[in-house]
Structure 1
Amino acid sequence: MRKIINLICSKSKLAHDLRFKFSFIRKTGYIPSFKNPKTFNEKINYRKNNHKNELFSICADKIKSKEYVAEKLSEDYIIENYYVGDNVTVEKIKEILADKGDLLLKANHNSGPVYLIDVNATDDEIKRKVDDVNNQLKKDYGKQLNEPWYSEIKPRVLVEKRLLPQAGETDIRDYKFHTFKQNDGSFKVVLQVDFERNDNYTRSFFDEELNWLPFHSDIAACIKTSIEKPKNYDEMLAAAKVLAEPFSYARVDFYNVDGAIYFGELTFAHGSGRGAFCHKVYDLWLGRLWQGDPSY
Structure 2
Amino acid sequence: MNREKVMTFVKKSLKILPDKTYIKLYYRFRVGRKLNIDNPTSLNEKLQWMKFNYRFPLQSIVSDKLLVRDYVKDKIGEEYLIPLLGSWEKYDDIDFSQLPEQFVLKCNHDSGGLVVCTNKEEINYVKSKSKIEKSLKSNFFYIGREYQYKNIKPMILCEEFISDAGKIPMDYKIYCFNGVPDVTLVCKDRFSKNTHRASYLYYDQEWNFVPLNKGDDTILDPKIEKPKNFEKMLEIAKKLSEDFVFARIDLYNIKGKIYFGEITLSPNSGFDADIKYETDIMFGQKLDIPYWNDISRKI
1:213-292 paired onto structure 2 within 5 Å = 213-216=210-213, 225-291=222-288, 292=291
TM-score normalized by structure 1?
A: 0.86
1:64-103 paired onto structure 2 within 5 Å = 64-89=67-92, 92-97=94-99, 100-103=100-103
Deviation string 1:13-36 (CA, Å, 9 cap, x unpaired) is: 2xx755543442344332220121
TM-score normalized by structure 2?
A: 0.85
Give the unaligned 5+ runs of structure 1. Answer: none
Q: Name the structure 2 match of 1:126.
A: 125
1:1-296 paired onto structure 2 within 5 Å = 8-13=13-18, 18=21, 20-89=23-92, 92-97=94-99, 100-122=100-122, 125-166=124-165, 170-181=167-178, 187-199=180-192, 200-216=197-213, 225-291=222-288, 292-293=291-292
Distance in 1 between residues matched to 2:16 and 2:31, nearest whole Å: 26
Aligned length: 283
Distance in 2 between residues matched to 1:23 and 1:4, nearest whole Å: 11
For the 8 Å contact 1:27–1:274, the answer to whether it is kept is yes
For the 8 Å contact 2:88–2:94, the answer to whether it is kept is no
Root mean square deviation, CA, Å: 2.7
SS at match of 1:106: strand
Distance in 2 between residues matched to 1:49 and 1:218, nearest whole Å: 32
SS at match of 1:11: coil
Moved more, 102-111 or 143-152: 143-152
Q: Counterpart of 1:157 in structure 2: which amino acid?
A: I
Distance in 1 between residues matched to 2:74 and 2:111, nearest whole Å: 23
Pairwise CA distance, 1:132: 2.2
Residues 1:276 and 1:78: Cα distance change in structure 2 (over 3 Å):
same
Q: Counterpart of 1:190 in structure 2: which amino acid?
A: V
Q: Counterpart of 2:271 in structure 1: which amino acid?
A: R
Q: Counterpart of 1:275 in structure 2: which amino acid?
A: D
For the 8 Å contact 1:218–1:276, the answer to whether it is kept is no
Distance in 2 between residues matched to 1:7 and 1:230, nearest whole Å: 41
Distance in 2 between residues matched to 1:227 and 1:7, nearest whole Å: 39
For the 8 Å contact 2:55–2:147, the answer to whether it is kept is no
Give the unaligned 5+ runs of structure 2. Answer: none
Pairwise CA distance, 1:222: 6.0
